């Protein structure tokens, strides 16, 4: 009896050790989002998991429950202790993340940012969802198409100092030169607040009776302006577009107030993050300007050497034909 | 053997020590990379900031009269912003900026103490109000006119400023060795060996008796709130140096975690009861728990919950053992 027990014990031990050894052989790739439990990052997690399955790596998804800078750093530090092979992070504070990423790099860990950049002088790669100029151009093109290339339009942005929003607006205006029959009448700001965006848009409808179109520059102002158009009974007369998430925009796409809007695919972004980590861990190097064939995602990512940046692809346009597939974020 | 068991059940500090050892053993056996010199020293840095706030909470709660300080998190934030803005935007000498930040912390604590002692408004209400006022002031200080009316973090510090939060001495984080441990020792002397300590326990356990024996109750209370401000300020300085960024949103929610740790450490919410050893063990247990759970890959959503479970569980277990022994 006793012998049997000892034997069983040993078998279990050997199996366990084997298991551990096998698990060890896989790359451990971690992604730390700004916070966990929101649809956008859930979508990135899903992509990361899919990539981990396809590429046979271990994917660790962990982050703070609120966008807490100190907790995010602590979590990364513990990933360093765990001895992961690669850490990708969407930093809450691009400066505060630097010391801990530096430490990770000193321990020989591959260090990346994804979705949001930070610690530029330390990180090995930034997986970027889309280029600033392409986002601006695409939004303008979508608006022009919806307005039939003529008429007055307005922009409702959010924080007046939000750096990325202002850059996108600059590129939209650059693109406007291609549409001589269109005219920008005003840019207004509505903070990150749907209700405020509704109010701002209702004012605009009164102030500019010839308004034909509007851009909602961020995820809250885009559904806000669409809602205002419907409340004012101007659907069909004024079209809205902008940058937002499918779950907030679906209602207005279905009713026709929004013909299309722009974002990127966060699932593919998560997938690409894990794929790129594996690619670099395998000892490969990215080549400047080259477009990569990544099975499992719908775009061809391109590498830009001077920024050490891998761009997912052109921004994605959502409209009535595809929105139902993306309702989860 | 019976006597040892009695000790464990009756003495909160002993009980926590046993809990600590058990937790430590469990993690050491089951969690990879936990029981290494690197991890055990590295994790200590994450106990410092919350730990200083828990010690502040301990002092204030000990003083009785419904004593509690809900503004510790906000004082941390505002001191972090004062130091950050003075160094990063005004360009002041770091030492001077730190001195001014710590003084401001003491001043804010002093103000809490004066309001609590001389107006007889409940500490809960005074410090709840200052929680919001100090937090709002921190946001105002953080506004950078170059970027319009929005609060912005400050992160352009000279390299020397990072010494406190990021350097190691023999593998041990500087802030643990040169600030946290000395603070604990000083507070130990203050509470256990000094006249002030006796006064504090006296005021906390029986205010009337203390008053009749000639203790200046108001002065004792003003002192502990001032110390609470100073400890929060130290915490704000250390966290800014550690994360290399002064942020107006740092420290949010820390006050409740600090109170939880103090209570876990055996500080009676009624005042006058509790030992610093217990609170230090409480800090150690929470630090250990967070570290072990993160290394084990346990989902983050369980971590805050675990703090509550440990609190209720330890008190409940303690009471059950006590009841069984009396039978």
Number of H helices, E strands in chain B: 16, 2
* CA–CA dist B74, B235 (Å, integer): 11
Residue of chain A whose alpha carbon sits nearest to that of B167: A99
Select the residue of A65, A99, A160 nearest B300 (Cβ to Cβ): A65
For residue range B246-291, list pLDDT tens digits in order: 999 899 889 999 999 999 999 999 999 999 999 999 999 999 999 9
Q: Which residues of B touch A98 (CB under 8 A)?
A: 244
Q: Is B295 on the interface with A (CB under 8 A)?
A: yes
Interface test with B, best of A60, A78, A94 (most B CBs within 10 A): A78
CB pairs under 8 A between A and B: 74
Model confidence band, residue A273 (pLDDT cutoffs 50, 70, 90): very high
Single out the residue of B234, B241, B246 nearest to residue B84, CA to CA: B246
Query: Would you state the structure tokens that stand for residue A297, as one six-digit string?
Result: 């995602």
Reply yes or no on whether the pLDDT at A96 is more than 80. Answer: yes
Question: Is A324 contained in some domain?
Answer: no
CB contact under 8 A, B249 and A95: no
CATH number for the domain including A60? 3.40.50.2300
Looking at the structure of chain A, the number of domains it has is 2
* CA–CA dist A149, A133 (Å, integer): 20
Q: Determine the pLDDT at residue A163.
A: 74
Asked whether residue A93 falls in the same domain as residue A184, the answer is: no
Asked whether residue A201 falls in the same domain as residue A307, the answer is: no
Reply yes or no on whether the pLDDT at B183 is more than 90. Answer: yes
CB contact under 8 A, B245 and A96: yes
Model confidence band, residue A38 (pLDDT cutoffs 50, 70, 90): confident
* CA–CA dist B64, B204 (Å, integer): 4
Mean pLDDT of chain A: 91
Question: Is A323 contained in some domain?
Answer: no
Q: Which run of H or of E encompasses A294?
A: none
Mean pLDDT of chain B: 92
Asked whether residue A191 falls in the same domain as residue A210, the answer is: yes
Model confidence band, residue A226 (pLDDT cutoffs 50, 70, 90): very high
Q: Determine the pLDDT at residue B102.
A: 98
Q: Is A213 exposed, middle or buried (0-12, 13-18, 19+ CB in 10 A)?
A: buried
Q: Which position has the higher pLDDT, A167 or B113?
A: B113
Q: Determine the pLDDT at residue A22.
A: 52
What average pLDDT score do residues B237-241 get? 97
3-class state of residue A79 by DSSP: helix
Single out the residue of B144, B63, B142, B153 nearest to residue B109, CA to CA: B63
Reply yes or no on whether the pLDDT at A100 is more than 70. Answer: yes
* CA–CA dist B183, B168 (Å, integer): 18
Q: Which residues of B touch A161 (CB under 8 A)?
A: 147-148, 150
- On whether the CB atoms of residues A246 and A237 are closer than 8 A, the answer is no
Question: Is A113 contained in some domain?
Answer: yes
CB contact under 8 A, B247 and A74: no
Residue of chain A whose alpha carbon sits nearest to that of B47: A74
Question: Is A90 contained in some domain?
Answer: yes
For residue range A59-69, list pLDDT tens digits in order: 999 999 888 89
Asked whether residue A253 falls in the same domain as residue A270, the answer is: no
What average pLDDT score do residues B219-224 get? 97
Single out the residue of B239, B287, B226, B247 nearest to residue B60, CA to CA: B226
Asked whether residue A163 falls in the same domain as residue A255, the answer is: yes
Lowest mean pLDDT among A68-77, B149-158, B272-281: B149-158
For residue range B96-114, list pLDDT tens digits in order: 999 999 999 999 999 999 9
Give, as one character, the DSSP assignment of residue B214: T
Q: A232 is in which domain, residue-wise? A: 132-263
Question: Is A328 contained in some domain?
Answer: no
Q: Determine the pLDDT at residue B306.
A: 86
Q: Is B256 on the interface with A (CB under 8 A)?
A: no
Asked whether residue A307 falls in the same domain as residue A159, the answer is: no
For residue range A171-208, list pLDDT tens digits in order: 999 999 999 999 999 999 988 889 999 999 999 999 99
For residue range A284-325, list pLDDT tens digits in order: 999 999 999 999 899 999 999 999 999 999 999 999 999 998
Query: How is chain B split into domains, by residue range?
Result: 36-321
Asked whether residue A41 falls in the same domain as residue A158, the answer is: no
- B197 CA to chain A: closest CA distance, Å? 34
Reply yes or no on whether the pLDDT at A12 is more than 70. Answer: no
For residue range A102-125, list pLDDT tens digits in order: 999 999 999 999 998 999 999 999
| Architecture category of domain B36-321 in CATH | Orthogonal Bundle (1.10)
Reply yes or no on whether the pLDDT at A5 is more than 80. Answer: no
CB contact under 8 A, A62 and B39: no
Note whether ipTM > 0.85 here. yes
Asked whether residue A255 falls in the same domain as residue A294, the answer is: no
Residues of A with CB under 8 A from a CB of B: 36-37, 60, 62-65, 68-70, 73-75, 77-78, 81-83, 93, 95-96, 98-99, 159-161
Q: Determine the pLDDT at residue B106.
A: 98
Asked whether residue A101 falls in the same domain as residue A181, the answer is: no
Q: What dihedral do alpha carbons B211, B215, B216, B222 form, nearest 10°?
A: -110
CB contact under 8 A, A62 and B299: yes
Asked whether residue A65 falls in the same domain as residue A116, the answer is: yes
Reply yes or no on whether the pLDDT at B9 is more than 90. Answer: no
Which residues are A318's β-sheet partners? A261
Reply yes or no on whether the pLDDT at A3 is more than 80. Answer: no
Reply yes or no on whether the pLDDT at B178 is more than 60. Answer: yes
Asked whether residue A81 falls in the same domain as residue A144, the answer is: no
């Amino acid at each position: 009896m006793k012998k049997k027990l000892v034997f069983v014990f040993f078998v279990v031990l050997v199996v366990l050790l084997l298991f551990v050894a096998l698990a060890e052989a896989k790359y451990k790739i971690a992604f730390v989002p700004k916070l966990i439990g929101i649809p956008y990052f859930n979508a990135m997690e899903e992509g990361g998991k899919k990539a981990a399955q396809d590429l046979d790596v271990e994917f660790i998804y962990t982050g703070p429950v609120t966008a807490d800078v100190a907790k995010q750093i602590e979590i990364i530090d513990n990933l360093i202790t765990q001895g992961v092979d690669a850490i990708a992070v969407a930093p809450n504070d691009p400066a505060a993340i630097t010391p801990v990423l530096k430490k990770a790099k000193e321990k020989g860990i591959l260090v990346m940012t994804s979705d949001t950049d930070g610690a530029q002088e330390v990180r090995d790669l930034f997986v970027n969802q889309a280029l600033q100029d392409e986002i601006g151009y695409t939004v303008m093109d979508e608006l022009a198409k919806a307005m039939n290339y003529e008429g007055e339009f307005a922009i409702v942005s959010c924080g007046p100092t939000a750096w990325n929003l202002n850059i996108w607006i600059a590129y939209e205006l650059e693109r406007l030169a291609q549409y001589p029959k269109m005219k920008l009448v005003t840019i207004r700001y509505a903070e990150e607040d749907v209700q405020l965006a509704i109010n701002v848009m209702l004012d605009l409808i009164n102030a500019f009776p010839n308004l034909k179109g509007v851009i909602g520059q961020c995820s809250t102002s885009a559904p806000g302006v669409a809602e205002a158009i419907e409340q004012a009974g101007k659907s069909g007369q004024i079209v809205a577009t902008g940058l937002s998430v499918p779950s907030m925009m679906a209602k207005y796409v279905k009713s026709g107030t929004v013909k299309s809007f722009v974002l990127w695919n966060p699932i593919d972004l998560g997938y690409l993050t894990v794929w790129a980590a594996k690619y670099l861990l395998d000892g490969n190097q990215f080549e400047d300007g080259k477009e990569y064939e990544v099975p499992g995602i719908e775009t061809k990512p391109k590498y830009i050497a001077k920024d050490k940046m891998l761009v997912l692809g052109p921004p994605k346009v959502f409209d009535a034909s595809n929105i139902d597939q993306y309702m989860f974020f | 053997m019976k006597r040892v068991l009695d000790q464990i059940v009756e003495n909160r500090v002993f009980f926590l020590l046993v809990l600590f050892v058990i937790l430590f053993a469990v993690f050491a056996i089951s969690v990879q990379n936990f029981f290494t010199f690197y991890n055990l020293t590295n994790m200590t840095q994450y106990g410092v900031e919350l730990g200083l706030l828990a010690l502040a909470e301990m002092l204030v709660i000990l003083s009785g009269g419904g004593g509690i300080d809900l503004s510790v998190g906000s004082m941390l934030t505002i001191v972090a912003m004062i130091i950050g803005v003075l160094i990063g935007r005004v360009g002041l000498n770091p030492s001077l900026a730190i001195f001014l930040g710590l003084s401001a912390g003491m001043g804010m604590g002093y103000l809490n103490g004066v309001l609590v002692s001389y107006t007889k408004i409940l500490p809960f209400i005074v410090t709840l109000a200052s929680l919001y006022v100090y937090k709002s002031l921190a946001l105002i200080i953080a506004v950078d006119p170059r970027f319009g009316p929005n609060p912005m973090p400050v992160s352009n510090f000279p390299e020397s400023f990072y010494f406190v939060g990021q350097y190691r001495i023999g593998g041990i984080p500087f802030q643990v060795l040169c600030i946290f441990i000395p603070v604990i020792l000083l507070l130990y002397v203050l509470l256990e060996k000094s006249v002030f300590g006796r006064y504090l326990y006296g005021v906390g356990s029986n205010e009337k008796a203390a008053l009749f024996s000639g203790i200046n109750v108001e002065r004792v209370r003003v002192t502990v709130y001032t110390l609470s401000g100073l400890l929060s300020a130290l915490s704000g300085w250390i966290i800014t140096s550690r994360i290399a960024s002064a942020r107006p949103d740092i420290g949010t929610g820390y006050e409740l975690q600090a109170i939880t740790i103090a209570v876990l450490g055996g500080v009676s919410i009624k005042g006058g009861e509790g030992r610093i050893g217990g609170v230090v063990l409480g800090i150690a247990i929470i630090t250990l728990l967070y570290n072990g759970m993160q290394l084990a890959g346990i989902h983050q959503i369980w971590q805050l919950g675990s703090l509550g479970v440990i609190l209720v569980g330890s008190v409940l277990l303690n009471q059950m053992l006590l009841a069984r022994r009396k039978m």
